[in-house]
Structure 1
Amino acid sequence: MRIHWLFAALLVPGMTMAAEGMWTLDNLPKAKMQAEYGFTPNDAWIKRTMLGSVRIAGGCSASFVSKDGLVMTNHHCASECLDQMSTAKKNLIKDGFLAKNREQELSCPEIELNRLEQITDVTTQVKSATAGLDGAAFKNAQNAIKAKLTSACVGNDKETVRCDVVDLYHGGQYQVYKYHRFQDTRLVWAPEKAAAFFGGDPDNFNFPRYDLDITLLRAYEDGKPAKIENYFPFSKNGAEEGEMVFVTGQPGSTQRQLTVSQLTTLRDLTLVNTLIRLSELRGVLEQYSKSSPEAARNAGQMLFGVENGYKALRGRLSALQDPVLMQQKQDDETALRKFVAQNPALQAKVGGAWDAIAASQQAYRQIEAPYGMIEGGRGFNSKYFSYARDLVRGAEERAKPNGERLPEYADAKLPEVEQELFSTAPIYPDFEKVTLGLSFTKMREILGADDAFVKQVLGKQTPDQLSAALIDNTKLGDPAVRKALWQGGKEAILKSNDPFIKMELALDSASRAIRSRYEKEVESVQQKNSELIAQARFAQQGTSAYPDATFTLRLSYGEVKGWKEGDKQIPPFTTIGGAFERDTGADPFALPASWHAAKAAGKLNLAQRYDLVTTNDIIGGNSGSPMINRNGEIVGLIFDGNIHSLGGAFWFDPRYNRSVAVHSGAILETLKNVYGGEELAKEILAH
C-alpha cells in the first residue's frame, strides 16, 4: 500500500479534515460538528455516551446494551475467554456458544471491564513533581506522583475502582481517569469463528466484508447481573448512507505527533524487527498447528494475533516508507520549530527538545535488542515465565512504599495483576515448550552465543532442552500454587524450588539494569522533551487539535460512506445474501452449517444489510466499539478498518480511510434466526 495520494488541503500543519480526530469527551469539536453536520452534543448526551462505553482492560472496546449488564464487543476481543473455556472435546471458538439462561453463562477468567466515570486534570501536580529533574530522578519522581494520585483516587475501593494517570498530547496534559471496575465477566453468546471471521486473513483489513464479529458478555457484581442505568439501545434499521454516526471507544495508540527522529526509528528499526519476529513466529505456529487438531486449537489464539498484527504493522511500515508522508512530517516539524524560534522565551525553553529526543533515539538503537529480549520478555515467550516475573517482582515491589515501586505494581494496579495470576485458564505445556524454545533460540541468535546473559540463561543446554526442563518441572501451571506464592511474599519466593522462580530470581537484576538504562537514556528524555514540544504546540494551536490515542475513551464522528478505488465505486453496505454468494464451502470462505440451515428453512432475510463502512477515524483498540447515531442508538459494531486505514497511526485521509462495522440489523437478524437467541434479542430491544 502506498499513500502518495496526499493532496494540498491535508498538508496544512495542524489542520483537521472532516471526520478526522479521536477526541476526548471533555474536549469535543462541537463547533466543527455543528458546521459540518448540524449537530452539537449536549452535556447529557456526552455523559450517557461516556457511561455506556466500556473498556476491556486487555486491549479492546465494548459497550453496555441492556440494563442487566449485557456487554457487546467483538468475537476476536473475547476469543481468549472462548479459548480458555474450550477443551479438546468442546471448542467454543469453532462451534460458538449461547447461554439459554443466566445460569448457563460462563465466567471469563481474565476479562476485566472498565467504565469511565470521572476525568480530573492533574497536569500541575505531575509537572511540579518533575520540575528541574532529568534521567532517573525524573522517572522516579513521575512514578511517585502517579502512584500517589492513583492511590488517592482509588481510596479503599480497589475491588470496584480503577484509576489511571493518562498522558495526553505527549505530556502536554495529565489527567486521572477514574473507572468503575467489573472483574466478574461472563460469556453469553458468540457465533462460530467461521461466521465471525469469514474470509480469514485474505479478507482482513479489506472491504466488502461479511463478518459477524460479535460476542455478548455480561458484567456481574456481587454474583448478580450488574444494574446499568446508561446503556445504548439498538436501532433495528441502522444508519443510511450519508448519515452522521459516532464511534465511542478506546483507540490504542497513534503516532501522529511524534518527532521525525522517532518516526525514523519506528520505520528503520522497530517495525522492521517486529515484522521479522512475527513472520518467524507465524511459521513456527503454522507448522505446530498442522501436527494435530488439538495443537491447532492450542496455537489458534496466538496465531490469529500474530497474523493480524503482521498485516497491520506491515501497513504502518509501508506508510512510513512513503517519502511524501515523511516529507510532510518534516515540514510540519520545521514549521513548529520556526514558530518556536520566533519567540525568544519559548526558544530558550523548548528549542533543544527535538535534538534531545533525536539523541535518545540513538541511545535506543544501542540497547534495543537486549532491552527487548531481556526486559521486554521477547526471549522468554511463555505464560509460566510471565507468572514467575510477576511473582518475583511483585514480592520485591510490594515490600516498598507505594511511591517507590515499579508502576505496574503500584497499589492501584494490583487487582489486575492478581486477576491474571489467579486465573483458572488452562495452560498447554507442549505448546509452551514450542514458544519458549523458539524465543530462547532467537535470544541466542540476536544477542550472540558469547553474550554473558545468554550464557547465564542457557548454560550448556540447547534452547529446546532448557525449555523442556523448565516446563516439565514447574508447578506454576496450578493457580493455587501461584496464589500461595503471591500471598507468601518474599519469604515464600526465596524458599521456592520452582525452576521458573529460580530463573527469574537469578536474572532479575540484569533485567532491571537494562530497564533502568532504558528509562534513564530513552524514556525519561522522550517524556520530558515531549512535554516541552507539547507546550510549543499549545502555544501555536491551543487544544483545537486532538491528542494521540492512548487507549482511553475517545469519540470520533463521521458518516456512512463508501469510496472510489480507481474507476470502481465501493458501496458502503454488504448484505447477508452477499455472504452466501462469496461462500465456497472451503475455509476461510465457508459459512457454518447453522447459516445454511437457516437459509434452507427460509428464516434469513438475505437482503438484510450486513457490514458497512464509515469515515470515522479509528485505530487498533477500537475493536468492539459501538457505532451510534445522534439519538445514542446502536447502528453498528466496529471490528476493522479498510486497507487504507493501516497508515492511520500517522495520518488520516477522509477520501480513503474507512472503519468497518457489523450492521445492527444483521446482529438482530442472525441472533434470532440463526442462533435461537430470541430472549437475548428481546433484552437488547427492551428500552
Structure 2
Amino acid sequence: MLKNKIAKKLIYLLTTIVIIVSFAFIPPKPDEGMYPLSDIRKLKLNQKGLKIPIDEIYNPDGVSLVDALVRLGGCTGSFVSSEGLIITNHHCVFGSVQRASTVENNYLENGFVAQTYEQEIPAEGLTAQITVSYEDVSEEVLKAAENVDDISKRAKAISVKISEIVKREESTDSTIKAEVSEMFVGEQYVLFRYKIINDIRLVYVPPRTIGEFGGESDNWIWPRHTGDFSFVRAYVAPDGSPAKYSKENVPFKPKKFLTVNPNGIDEDDFVFILGYPGRTFKNMPARFIEYQYKYQLPYVQDLFSWLINLYTKRGENDPEFALNISSTIKGLANTEKNYRGKIQGIRNLDLINRKLEEEKNLLKFINSNQELKSKYGKLPDEINQLYDDVFESGRRLFVLNFLRNYVSYYRLADLFVDYKTEQLKDESERKSNYKESNKEKLIAEIENIYKNRKDDLEPQIFMKIYGDASEFEELKSLEPFASFRNISNKEEYVNKLFTNTFIADKERFIERLFDKDFTVENSNDDLIKIANQLYQLKNEEQKRQQIRDGKSNILLAQFNEVKRIWLNRNFIPDANSTLRLTFGYVRGYSPRDAVYYSPISSLKGMIEKSFEGGDYRIYEKIKELYAKKDFGKFIHPKLNDVPVAFIYNTDTSGGNSGSPIMDAYGRLVGVNFDRCFEATINDYAWSEIYSRSIGVDIRFVLWVVQKIGNADFLLKEMNVNL
C-alpha cells in the first residue's frame, strides 16, 4: 500500500515536471502590430525568440538589416547579394514582366532568366526606395494649422506645410526623395528620406505556372503551393548616383544584404518581417468600419468581380488582349477577393458591434471624471455627426472615380470640362497640366488615353457603373442619375452616347479642346453634358470631403488621445507604407470547426492539386523531378519533401508583399506574399486565432532556381553552397 502511494506521488511529480517543462517550450503569443523602427527596442524580442542584438536589426548609428530593405513599387524587396540582387514576389513584378512580353516571346508564361548582366532587361514601371533616415516633424506640421479658423482649410494647411517640408528637404539634398507620413491623424507626422533607384532590371522570373500556381482559386487561401518569387537587380550610374536606365550603369552596392539560410524553418520557429505595409485602420472608430462594410467593400467587390468576368471573356479568343489585360485582371482579382474576405471577417467577428461596445465603455470612462467630461464629453456625438455626413455622401466619389478610371470616353469628357473650366482663370492660377507651357504633355496624355481605350467594352462598363449609381439611395435623386432612371431603353441610350459624341474622334477632340470659342455651354454633346453635371457634383463632394478631413484631423486626434488615457498605454500607429517590423511564430491554425491546417506545405500537395488542371496547371519538369525524388539539398527532413510555403502569425498587410521572412538569427528563410482568407481582416483587427500570413519557403525558391531555372550562378551569388 505504501509502495503504491509512493509510486503515485512519483508519477504525479514526474507528470507535473513534464507539464512545466513542456509549457516552458511553448512559444509565447506575439503582440499585435506593425511596429515603427522607433518602437522595436520596446518589444523585448530577445525574450521572445530573437537570437541577435536589436542593433543588428536597426542601428541608426551604423549598418543593420533595415539597410537591406527596399520599397519596390507597392511592395517590399530585400538585397540578397553585394551586387544589388533583390528578391521580391512574382506578383510584384507581374506588370513589368507583362510589359516586356509579347505573344511570340511571352516571359510571363514561360519565365525569364538572364545568365549575364547584359541579358538583364528593364523592369518597366519599377523603382526602388531605400529608407535613409527619419525624424518627427509633428510640431512644425501642426503649427501650420494652429490659427486656421475655417475647419475646411485645416487639412489644406497641413497639406501645404507637408509639401513645403518635402520641397525643402529635396532641394537641400537632390539625391533623396522626401515623404512626410501621418502616423496618427492630427497628432504625429514623421519625415522619411529615401534614396531612389530608377534602373531596375529583371534577372530571374519563374514560369507563370510556378509563380502563380493556383491562380485566383488559391489566392488568399491556405494550404498554398505558389512559388511567388522573382529576382531583380538595382543599377546606378558609375559614380553610384541614381540614374535612369543606361548601358553604362553598374549594379548597386547596398550597405547590407541578407544572408540566405538554405535550411529554412520548422514549426514553432521564431520569425520576423521587415517591410512596407500599406494602409491599416485598427485605430479608427466603429462608424468608419460600418461605412466600409455597408458601402465601400461591397460596392468595390461587386464592380471588380463584374470587370474581371468582362475582361476575361473578352480575352478568350484574343491572346494579345489577354496578355495586355492580364496585369489589370490580376490586380482587380486580388482586391475583389480581399474585400470579400474583409466583409466576411467583419461579419464573423461582429467587429462593428465590438467597437461600438468598446466606445460605450470609453464614454463611461469619460463621464466618470469631470475633467475628462469637460474636455471629451462631446467627442462621441461629434464623431457620429462627422460620419452621418460620410454616410450621406455614400458611394458618390467612388462612382465618379471609377467612371474616370475604367471608361476612357468619360475620362476624356471630364478632362474636357476640367480644361475649359481652368481656362476661365488666369494662367498663373490654372492647374499645372493645363498651363500653356505644358500643352505638349497634355496632348501626349490624351493620345495615351486614346491608345488604351477599349471601344467595344466602354459602353458596357459605363452602363454598369452609371446604371448601378442611378439606383443608389444617395445618388438616384441627383442629376444626371435621376433622368437616367426614367429612360426606358437604357442600353440604346448609352450606345448612342458613345456613337454620337465627338470624343470618338481624337483629332476632333483635340481641336475642340483648344478652340477657345467651343465651350461646354455651347456643346450639344450629351456625354459632355453628363460630364459637366458630374463635374459639379464632384466639386461639391470634394468640398464636403475637405470639411470632413479638417474635422477628423481634430476629432480623431482627440479620440486616440483619450483612448490612451483610458487604456493607460500607448498603441501602435496604423500602417502607412513606412518601414515596419512584425514578428511571430511558424504556426498552424483552425479556421473552422473540426478543421486544422498544419503550417508547412510541400511539393506533394502541388502534385496532388495539379490533377485538377485550370488554375492548377503545373510546370511539367516539376512532375518529372518529383517522380525521381530529385530534391537536391533543399529537403525538409521531417517532411522528406521540398517545402513550398509556410504560415506564421505575424501582423501583415498589403505592401508586405515581397517582405523578407527572417529567422531568429536574421537570416532569410522565406518571402511573404499573402494572408489566409480569414486574415484579410488584419487591416481592421488582428488575432492569434485566425491571423496567418503566407510566405514561399526559401528552400523551394532555391530548388526552383537550380532545378527549373538552371541558374546555379544565382545561388553562388547569394553564397548558397551547392
TM-score range for the pair, normalised by the shorter chain length:
0.7 to 0.9
CA distance in 2, matches of 1:467, 1:553: 46
Partner of 1:587: 614
| Residue 577 (structure 1) aligns with | 604
SS of 1:27's partner is helix
CA distance in 2, matches of 1:475, 1:80: 31
Match of 2:152 in 1: 136
Residues 1:43 and 2:55 are matched in the alignment = yes
Letter in 2 for 1:27: D
Kept after mapping to 2: 8 A contact 1:135/1:519: no
State the 1:531 CA deviation.
Answer: 1.3
Say yes or no: does 1:534 pair with 2:534.
no
Give the direction of change, closer, same or farther, for the CA distance of 1:596–1:34 in structure 2 (3 Å limit). closer
Runs (4+) of structure 1 moved beyond 6 Å? Answer: 383-397, 421-428, 454-461, 468-471, 491-497, 501-508
2:644 to 589, 610, 627: 610
CA distance in 2, matches of 1:68, 1:474: 47
1:255-294 matches, cutoff 5 A: 255-294=281-320
2:102 matched residue in structure 1? 87
Paired with 2:430 and 2:47, the residues of 1 have a C-alpha distance of 49
Letter in 2 for 1:147: S
Instruction: Specify the SS of the correspondent of 1:555.
Output: strand
* Partner in structure 1 of residue 667 of structure 2: 633
Please say if 1:28 is aligned against 2:11.
no
Note if contact 2:76-2:658 (Cα within 8 Å) is conserved in structure 1. yes
| Residue number among 339, 343, 362 corresponding to 1:336 in the alignment | 362
Structure 1, 510-519 or 615-624: larger mean CA deviation = 510-519
Partner of 2:170: 154
CA distance in 2, matches of 1:243, 1:128: 47
CA displacement, residues 103-139 of structure 1 (integer Å, 9 cap, x when unaligned): 2222123222211121111111222222254432112
**2:274 equivalent to 1:251:** no
**SS of 1:234's equivalent?**
coil
CA distance in 1, matches of 2:657, 2:391: 32
**Greater alpha carbon shift after TM alignment, 456-465 vs 40-49:** 456-465
Residues 264 and 455 from structure 1, CA distance in 2 versus in 1: closer, same or farther, beyond 3 angstroms? closer
Equivalent-residue separation in structure 2 for 1:125 and 1:393 (angstroms): 34
Q: 1:199 and 2:233 equivalent?
A: no
Q: Note closer, same or farther for the CA distance 1:601–1:98 as it changes in structure 2 (3 Å cut).
A: farther
Instruction: Check whether the contact 2:213–2:226 (CA below 8 A) recurs between aligned residues.
Output: yes
Are the counterparts in 2 of residues 109 and 425 from structure 1 also a CA contact under 8 Å? Answer: no
Q: Indicate the SS of the match to 2:210.
A: helix
- Return the alpha-carbon distance in structure 2 between the equivalents of residues 351 and 247 of structure 1: 40
- Structure 2: distance between partners of 1:235 and 1:450: 62
Task: Quote the Cα distance in structure 1 between the aligned partners of 2:420 and 2:663.
Answer: 49
Gaps of 5+ in 2: 1-27, 238-245, 434-440, 520-524, 636-640
Moved more, 452-461 or 168-177: 452-461
- Given that 1:379 and 1:443 are in contact with CA atoms closer than 8 Å, whether structure 2 keeps it comes out as no
CA 1:650–1:573: 2 relative to 1, 3 Å: same
What secondary structure, in the 3-state scheme, does the structure 1 residue paired with 2:395 have? helix
Cα contact 1:23–1:556 (8 A) shared by 2: yes
Matches within 5 A, 1:481-630: 510=536, 513-541=539-567, 544-564=570-590, 566-584=593-611, 586-596=613-623, 598-599=625-626, 603-605=630-632, 607-630=641-664
1:242 pairs with 2:257? no
SS in 2 for 1:610: strand
* Residue identity matched to 2:618: L
CA distance in 1, matches of 2:47, 2:603: 36
Which amino acid counterpart does residue 164 of structure 2 have in structure 1?
A: K
Q: Aligned equivalents of 2:294 and 2:110: distance in 1?
A: 42
Larger relative contact order (Cα-Cα within 8 Å, sequence gap ≥ 6): 1
Structure 1 residue 365: deviation in Å? 2.4
Judging changes above 3 Å, is the alpha-carbon distance between structure 1 residues 512 and 132 closer, same or farther for their aligned structure 2 residues? farther
Q: 1:352 aligns with which of 378, 393, 397?
A: 378
Question: RMSD of aligned C-alpha atoms?
Answer: 4.2
Deviates more, 1:98-107 or 1:388-397: 388-397
Three-state SS of the structure 2 residue aligned to 1:562 is: coil
Offset at 1:514? 3.3
The offset of 1:22, in angstroms, is: 0.8
1:440-459 alignment, distance < 5 Å: 441-447=464-470, 452=479
For residue 549 of structure 1, give the secondary structure of its aligned residue in structure 2. Answer: coil
CA contact 1:616–1:659 (8 Å) conserved in 2: yes
Give the aligned partner of residue 685 of structure 1. Answer: 719
Could you report, residue by residue, the CA deviation over 1:339-376 in whole angstroms, capped at 9, with x for unpaired residues? Answer: 333444444343333322322222122223332222x3
Mapping of residues 180-219 of structure 1, within 5 Å: 180-219=195-234
Correspondence for 1:116: 131
Structure-2 residue corresponding to 1:220: 235
2 CA distance for matches of 1:627 and 1:466?
A: 52
Q: Cα deviations across residues 593-652 of structure 1 (Å, max 9, x unaligned)? A: 343455577754472221111111112221111101233211100011112212222221
Q: Does the CA-based 8 Å contact 1:30-1:41 persist in structure 2?
A: no
2:200 matched to 1:173? Answer: no
Query: Cα distance, 1:425 vs. partner?
Result: 9.9
- Give the total of aligned pairs: 647
Contact 1:496–1:502 under 8 Å retained in 2: no
Cα distance, 1:470–1:405 mapped onto 2, change above 3 Å: closer
CA contact 2:110–2:208 (8 Å) conserved in 1: yes
Query: What is the CA-CA distance between 1:512 and the residue it aligns to?
Result: 5.7
Distance 1:645 1:229 in 2: 34
Structure 2 Cα separation of the partners of residues 559 and 372 of structure 1: 39
Offset, 1:454: 6.7
Deviations 1:81-103 (A, max 9, x none): 11111222222221211122212
- Indicate conservation of the 8 Å contact 2:414/2:532, yes or no: no
The alignment partner of 2:36 has SS state of coil
Distance 2:309 2:179 in 1: 38
Question: In the alignment, what sits opposite 1:381?
Answer: 406
Deviates more, 1:530-539 or 1:26-35: 26-35
Change (3 A) 1:189 1:538: same
C-alpha spacing 1:66/1:426, structure 2 compared with 1 (3 Å): farther
**Which letter does structure 1 place at the counterpart of 2:160?**
A
Counterpart in the other structure of 1:434? 457
* Post-superposition offset of 1:213: 0.4
Q: Aligned residue for 1:488?
A: none
Q: CA deviation at 1:147?
A: 0.7
1:672 aligns with 2:706: yes
Report the equivalent of 1:96. 111
SS, match of residue 37 in structure 1: coil
Contact 1:611/1:661 (8 A) holds in 2: yes
Which amino acid in the other structure matches residue 333 of structure 1?
E
TM-score (norm 2): 0.79
* DSSP-derived class of the 1:530 partner: helix
- The Cα offsets for residues 370-404 of structure 1, whole Å up to 9 and x where unpaired, read as 32222x3445415787799899989999xx99xx9
What letter corresponds to residue 514 of structure 1 in structure 2?
A: E
Asked whether the equivalents of residues 356 and 525 of structure 1 are also in contact (C-alpha less than 8 Å), the reply is no
Q: Cα distance 1:166–1:597, how it changes in 2: closer, same or farther (>3 A)?
A: same
Give me the whole-angstrom Cα distance separating, in 2, the residues matched to 1:528 and 1:187: 46
Per the alignment, in what secondary structure is the counterpart of residue 601 of structure 2?
A: strand
1: CA distance, partners of 2:259 / 2:447: 34
Identity among equivalent positions (%) equals 22
Match of 2:92 in 1: 77
Alpha-carbon spacing, 1:494–1:559, altered in 2? closer, same or farther (3 Å): farther
Paired residues of 1:84 and 1:426 also in contact (CA < 8 A): no
Distance 1:292 1:658 in 2: 38
* Structure of greater Rg: 2
Contact 2:80 2:718 (C-alpha < 8 Å) held by counterparts: yes
